[in-house]
Amino acid sequence: DADVTQTPRNRITKTGKRIMLECSQTKGHDRMYWYRQDPGLGLRLIYYSFDVKDINKGEISDGYSVSRQAQAKFSLSLESAIPNQTALYFCATSAGLAFDNEQFFGPGTRLTVL
Amino acid sequence: QKEVEQDPGPLSVPEGAIVSLNCTYSNSAFQYFMWYRQYSRKGPELLMYTYSSGNKEDGRFTAQVDKSSKYISLFIRDSQPSDSATYLCAMRVNTGGFKTIFGAGTRLFVKA
């Protein structure tokens, strides 16, 4: 879905390296999220942001940090990558309405940490 | 124990079959129940959602929620090869939180 874009789409890196994954959206949504997806574990929330000044930890935030540079941009950083951070990473957005059930996902970034 | 349990499959069916996908959950506070479809190398997309108990139909798809059993289902009638994807259930509480809990996803293959 071109409304939510993620860069890079694939990345291979080495243990200890700093990595940044970027997410941009043109949907005009206030809420943005970072998830990781692992086989058998589903989608797990890393961080979320309800607006530019609001950053919150999800269930698996250790080893990750985020930056909400603008309403449309939300970046995820791995300060010192480790092999168990190898996963598929998704950015998502939602409108923040009263019954806010639909999240719109980007195409994902496949990250491999050697 | 996971809050949401979903059989990962894979589930393989012939074209035209009725498919039943299911999730169980442990948190009785969940009120919104969603099904996302994820094609290979794509992000999930919302297929259907229901509030509280009952059924909801949309074309060939029917979502069913049984809160007394903490069990939700997605039925696909007249399944097509284009339905081949991973289906993720998701759910969240009604108020005081937005956090959505996802199941692990069931891989479905519909053979022509």
For the segment A6-57, what is each residue's pLDDT rounded down to a tens digit? 999 999 999 999 999 999 999 999 999 999 999 888 899 999 998 899 999 9
Check whether A110 has a pLDDT greater than 80.
yes
Any CB–CB contact under 8 A between B99 and chain A? yes
Q: What pLDDT score was predicted for residue A16?
A: 97
Any CB–CB contact under 8 A between B61 and chain A? no
Q: What pLDDT score was predicted for residue A66?
A: 97
Question: Using alpha carbons only, what angle is made at residue A63 by residues A107 and A10, rounded to the nearest 5 degrees?
Answer: 30
Residue A45, CA distances (Å) to A14, A57, A59, A82, A114 in order: 24, 8, 6, 18, 23
Q: What pLDDT score was predicted for residue A98?
A: 52
Any CB–CB contact under 8 A between B75 and chain A? no
The CA distance from A107 to the nearest CA of chain B, in Å, is 5
Partner residue facing A42 (CB), from B43, B98, B104: B104
Size of interface A-B (CB pairs under 8 A): 51
Any CB–CB contact under 8 A between A41 and chain B? yes
Check whether A59 has a pLDDT greater than 60.
yes
Q: Are the Cβ atoms of B44 and A105 closer than 8 angstroms?
A: yes
Check whether A82 has a pLDDT greater than 60.
yes
Check whether B99 has a pLDDT greater than 80.
no
Q: Are the Cβ atoms of B88 and A92 closer than 8 angstroms?
A: no
**What residues have CB less than 8 Å from B46, skipping those under 6 apart?**
A101, A102, A103, B34, B35, B36
Would you tell me which residues 77-96 of chain A have a C-beta closer than 8 angstroms to some C-beta of chain B? 90, 92, 94
For residue A101, what pLDDT band results from cuts at 50, 70 and 90?
low
For residue B20 the two structure tokens come to 């039943």
For residue B93, what pLDDT band results from cuts at 50, 70 and 90?
confident
Q: Round to whole Å and give the CA distance between A96 and A83.
A: 34
Q: Which is it for the CA torsion A8, A10, A14, A16, positive or negative?
A: positive
